[in-house]
Structure 1
Amino acid sequence: MITYIIVDDDELQIDFLQMHLSQIAGLQCMATYTNAFEARNKIIEQRPELLILDVEMPGLSGIQLVKSLNNPPCTIFVSSHPEYAADAFNVEAIDFIIKPVAPERLMRTIDKAVMTIEHVTGSVSQADDFSIERNAFFVKDKNVHIKIEYSDVLYIESSGNFSVIYFTTQSKQLVLANLAKMEAQLPSNRFVRISRSAIINIEHISSIGMDTLFIKEEELAIGKPFLEKVMKEVVGNNCIRRS
């Protein structure tokens, strides 16, 4: 059972999160708080495995709360202010969700958090590194190196110090390598980073707009600092325009 605490100064937002999280087997809510100072004391005392936090709160922000903890739990930020996303990932957040929260987006983030927590506690296989060859890369799983073909990868998401690989088969794999390390080693003609939290396989792009793109049926946000590079790498001179 994975325990969690919600901290948000908006009680309606807490109710919304609780309504959806209560439907997920294997999760247990320890407490909810509207005051970050009060929450901090209980987090230290109760030691939940997962925190779900707002960013802007009176007196102490969610970012400040996490920074104040010596050994913070896995953390998900939920905020209506996307400008705080960089700060959230700088404190190794699992994810940053923009309000209003779409239930399917919340579920996907919780899945990623559960994978990370189970990995850390040793209840799933240890994928502690990866290496590259010509048309594939290898993920180390305990004492075995598993070969993953580039074409089988849809996209890769950051999960704190880990990365989660999403496959065309709808399965996923947690890797003990952060997104920066994976970006540095994966071939740039096949993979491109589209935000602080995602790398995509160019082969599987079905469409691209000014701030989002689709990998098959999955819509992913393009970060503003990455947009120019993404358009150059993905579209380049291959766009046929109306005369």
Structure 2
Amino acid sequence: MVRSLWTAATGMNGQQANIDTISNNLSNVNTTGYKQHRVEFEDLLYQNVKLAGTPATEETVTPVGIQMGTGVKVGATQRIMTQGSLQATGVDTDIAIVGDGFFRVQQYDGSWAYTRDGSFKVDSNGQLVNSNGLRVVPEIILPEGYQLSTLTVTDTGRVSVKVNGGTEPVEVGQLELYRFPNAVGLENNGDNLYKVTNASGEPIASRPGFEGMGTTKHRFLEMSNVSVVNEMV
């Protein structure tokens, strides 16, 4: 009886983890670039009462055994890396990634982090930064006298802007994207950021649209890939 209760408790714990994950998905349904998580379960060890193939008589063996399960555990929380829908914002510094890849930003301690959230801003130095002021790498710095409304970003990541009322745009930088051998192995770091792990592998850099990398779409954002309907089923 005690074992039965313990086995049932593992199921309740597993379902609690599943509900917590679904709740987190639903709470981030409007988070830019958020990727859905899914709980994966594994069964626990079995108690072998009788092994399959045990001799039943001198001439026969048992075709099946007797194994008593001891419950379930959470094996992983899998990140689903499918493309989120694109939303036109009309904001001059918004950039979506279409396809594979991440933007890179430099954190305050000097380390790198990666994000699908392209809701960028321009700081007081004319530098392209994320919503928390972390600078985009490689650096994109707009020159003095820039006209933000004339900012253009091509699908291959070339950034240009008109300066001091000029009629011809000036190229000011080249965005790079980064992909990973195993992107689901990245570690969530909060603030829409990911960190490299041994499981993710090291980042591979390329210009958008080259070497299997996704492209950039100016004045758009990638929304969460969470489906409310699927989460509620």
TM-score (norm 1): 0.24
Larger Rg over CA atoms? 2
TM-score (norm 2): 0.24
Report which structure shows greater RCO (CA 8 Å, sep ≥6). 2
More helix by proportion, 1 or 2?
1
